[in-house]
Structures are given as C-alpha cells and as structure tokens.
Amino acid sequence: MVTLPAPLAAWHAIADRRDATDPADLLADLLAHDVVFRSPAVHTPQEGRALTTAYLSAALVVLGPTLRYRREWWDDTSAVLEFEAELDGFTVHGVDMLTWNDAGRLVDFTVMVRPFTGLTRLMELMAAQLAG
C-alpha cells in the first residue's frame, strides 16, 4: 500500500468529486495564501488563492467529466500527475505539477497540456467558463 503525500491525497479528493459541489471551500484548505497558478496558455503567473481557486474550479468544470489520472510521481515537496481528458472529441494529455510548503499547503500549481489542438480547445472552454 503506497501512502500518498497529504497534499497530493487532498488534491485527488477534490478532483475525484463526482458531484457538483463548488470546490472553493476544499481548495481554501489546500492552497497557501501566496499560491501561484501557471496555466498551460499564459506566461504570466496568476498570483494568490482567489485567482488560483477560480482557475482550478473552472478547470474542474471543463475537464472534470472526462478527467482520468494515469501516472504520478512525487517527492517530499512536489508531485507530477499525468492526465488525459476529452473535449468535444479533442484529446487533452497533460500534467499537473504541484509544489507545497512545510505546512502542506500548495504554493505552485502548474498545468501543461498537449497537443496543440487540445490546448486551443481547452483555452476556448476555459475562457467561456471563467467569463460565465
């Protein structure tokens, strides 16, 4: 039996929810105040818990229904999770990269996806979700 680092287990508990509960309360317990979100699309980091919560909540709406985690790697302060999802027939293959502090709160959440078609479709759906 492999024991996951607590922040990684906490993220899985949030991502694995199959109900429509807003994850903001759960994320508030997991994210450090000064957490930074680095999107697959934009170079500029999105700074702070409010912005990061907005992006992660939107990503869970857009990707959540088809999100499947495939493999993961971790050490004492970070983890990489490989995932796949389907967006209107476009395959999205990506990684979530989580880094946490000594208190077990995430200080960095970076997402990368491939291929180009999957990224562009994800960008369109994320923009609509964030605007909605």
Compare residues 5 and 26 and give the one whose CB is closer to its own copies.
5
Q: How is residue 102 annotated by DSSP?
A: T
Cβ-contact 4, 15 below 8 angstroms: no
Burial 84-100 (b: 16+ CB within 10 A, else e): bbebeeeebebbbebbb
**Pattern 12-51, its own copies, x by CB under 8 A:** --------------------------xxxxxx--------
Among 82, 84, 101, 104, contact with its own copies (rule: CB under 8 A): 82
Q: How far apart are CA 100 and CA 68, in angstroms?
A: 22
**Pattern 113-132, its own copies, x by CB under 8 A:** xxxxxxx---x---------
96: helix, strand or coil: strand
Among 46, 91, 101, 129, contact with its own copies (rule: CB under 8 A): 91
User: Which residue ranges make up the site for its own copies (CB under 8 A)?
Assistant: 38-43, 71, 73-75, 78-80, 82, 91, 93-95, 97, 110-119, 123
